Structure 1
Amino acid sequence: MNFQKKHIPLIIGVAIAAGVFIGGKLNFTDTSDRLFTSNSKKDKLNRLIDYIDYEYVDDINTDSIVDVTVNGILDNLDPHSTYIPKNELEQDNEKMKGDFVGIGVSFYTYKDTVTVIRPVEGGPSEKAGIRGGDRIIVANGDSIFGREWSNDAIIKKLKGEKNSKINLKVYRKGEDKLLEFNVKYADIPIKSVDAAYMLTENLGYIKINRFAESTYKEFKKALDNLQDQGATQLALDLRDNPGGFLGKAEQIVDEFLEDGKLILFTKNKKGKIENSYATRRGDFEEGDIYILINENSASASEIIAGALQDNDKGTIVGRRSYGKGLVQRQMALGDGSAVRLTVARYYTPTGRSIQRPYANGKNDVYYKDYYKRLSNGELDNPESMEIADSLKFTTPNGKVVYGGGGIIPDIFVPLDTSVQNETLNYIKRRGYVSNFVFEELDKDRTVYDNISKTDFINTFEVSDDVVLRFQKYLNLKERTNITFVAYHDHMKRLIKSALAEQLYGDTAEEQILNSGDIMIEEVIALSKNKAY
């Protein structure tokens, strides 16, 4: 009994202390000096959000404040640590996953109506009988046309569970009544291999637009097909490829390098080094490789180029790459959002870091590096390139290579100013060519019914009259006079490539675009010299 009485003051004291502590957490009349006495950085941020929630004079969406706070923190790190809000994460993950569940159509809203540009080859809509030019009027009994239907609302309405079905009613020109289709939802690939075909009798060509989960599988299938057609040389086009999953780039490099060759190594904050080596499984180790890069080839694209260059394998063709040598890992934040945080740097086999300098995290100077390269003449002349001798490395065969800002190609190909123009780039970004071509096709698709893909690529010509019609269409859309007289022939190629894409698919589009490509022509010339 005496023991209990003796310790009552202690118990009361502890309880009071706990109450003061808890009260401090709930007391929103603290002064600013009290706020900043906390030892916990996390506690400071939590309390600030609580103050705004409970005490701020106006109602505020604190979710948006948290987003701003997260972005503000990441802005002070490096240019590639990024925040992905909850409403963007699903779509972002789909792109990297390489597929999504859907009905398999590309569409755009034409005159307030969902209009099919082209069904995905082998997809559920094509199997059901839906064609390019069809208008989807009704989905599961609900009308989905009119101004109130945004693209997001349409996509949401057309989504469903895998293997379930959606009932669509479709208007098709020439038919007296609406056509009805029951389409089963399936996995729809988001292709990362844009094209794979033979440039010459022994030179194959593969273009990769990013490195997603499905990329290696797509690449391997394309490579096998090209080898079956006689490819002993390969042009791997990584121009404008921003990167993606590091592991997929390593798998592709493994196809070219012998067992035991170093592909790259990474180093984290603690200095821990992890090496990645080629295995015995490569199927193109004896073939000649040409890697095409430009100023927009980044990250995983640079891993491939750097690994091959440092192992004296193949030839890198083009212009200095972007310069991203940082490794990100995606981490969930608990509310459906995520952060991609830089966790390591990667190095090419000779020890090069190809990450270009950055100061103060994300800044305009970093992202406007392209314009700096353009203005100083680097994109036209390799002699204008700024290279630090302190970042010089040597490959096993004695070739000198450089770090500190991208992969410098073995063979330089200047920017083709005949096709690179602000007006043309603006027209392409706005999607005007594709939309114009759709409307041209919509007048009478039967004109192309008996033209094979090969005949279209080799013999079809876009008339001057079509180019003039596009000029009028463009000026009507822009309500201004945009001219491209000096780029008349290139505009014909752009229109023809858009026609090919909507009629025959991506590979046909790339074949037409590549027909006048000076970097492709350089690779073909190199491959012929190598062959002899």
Structure 2
Amino acid sequence: MRVVLCNSASPLTPIPKPPTFPATLNWPHKTLVGALTGAVSFSLLISSPSSIALDSASVPPSPSSHSSATDYCRQDDDTEAMPETAPELVTNEAIVEEAWNIVNDSFLDSSRRRWSSDIWKQKKEDILGTSIQTRSKAHDIIRRMLASLGDPYTRFLSPAEFSKMARYDMTGIGINIREVQDDNGGVKLKVLGLILDGPAHAAGVRQGDEILSVNGMDVTGKSAFEASSLLQGPNETFVTLEVKHGNCGPVQSIEVQRQLVARTPVFYRLEKIENGAASVGYMRLKEFNALARKDLVIAMKRLQDMGAKYFILDLRDNLGGLVQAGIEIAKLFLNEGETVTYTVGRDPQYEKTITAETAPLITAPLIVLVNNKTASASEIVSAALHDNCRAVLVGQRTFGKGLIQSVFELHDGSGVVVTIGKYVTPNHMDINKNGIEPDFREFPAWSEVTQHLAQCNTLRQG
């Protein structure tokens, strides 16, 4: 089984499944990639439509201070090539039961109308009471079973649909990265998958490699999201990776030519107001991709240098993207310790409070422009800045998309996407299906903005 978190409109990156399994399945322990701690699991960029390289072919050793002949190491299971087990060894009934168990353990009924444990147990008895003759029939049963939940985001994925998910790439060099905990409780970055004959694979990067540095910058302690952002750059430019092959292999410096790139989603300009006595830094953010935070920081610093005293962040028609990018952008405006968002779910591992860790990049008065196409990650940012009295919202009520999905691989290569949680604003408002009401419908005077923010902070402190 593989599982990965995502937001409701995003492509997904799967995690390698176990190498073997019995003909009759017991519900395995879930492996969770932390969507809110930087795992590359959200709206990723589409890479070339080719197959995934899952081999761990050896690479000629190169000298490095990171390894020596006397080092003792233990090869991790997930760094080796994982043999596939023939799908026919899994019974049709076991596949249906596996899907049933995933829903039973993790599904969050956002409508709170259709799902109950008693009804769900009865459904299992009805389904598994008879023999399921074909794999196609098993998949049809899973589809109907999930449709009965009444959740538009919980759905079945055929093996072909599931395999496509591993082809998403936000690095620009054809690899997917995930965070793996080591034996000492630390985190290291591992190559989850490669695009066969993609830039990284052709240069010598292999499945299971640990990424140590990017262009000489140590990535120890960095999230997969941060490392992927460092790998991004203009098309046909080069990036140098230092990788450790497997858990026990040599360290090698590899130069890779970028072939895919995220376009900057940030547009900015300086505008004069009040007879030219003050300047406003206008920033439009079209989507939350791997470049969003980095390019927004550049825009804000340049606008500050140009004399901006007020700022506008335009999130109209921004349907979301990488949720982690939205969280990191919200932190740019918040004080240390202030809440960005809460996540809630049936499983305690999905209960999180996300807070800012540093001082804000700017403290100037801020307007966030929103409309009915401001959704998902855009709503997380809008709510975080609004509820912490950092910005006023201007425009229309936002879309109202705040659910979290996981995608689980079943043991025959198919998968299920299941709603397992939702986002809640710092003021404990459920975003999903509600949206966020703006403070002003029409553009206010900046004096109104500063007065509104001052009153908000007074009430908050009182």
Give the TM-score normalised by the residue count of structure 2: 0.46
Q: Which has the higher contact order (CA 8 A, sep 6+)?
A: 2
Higher-helix-fraction structure: 1
Which is greater in Rg?
1
Q: TM-score, normalization: structure 1?
A: 0.41
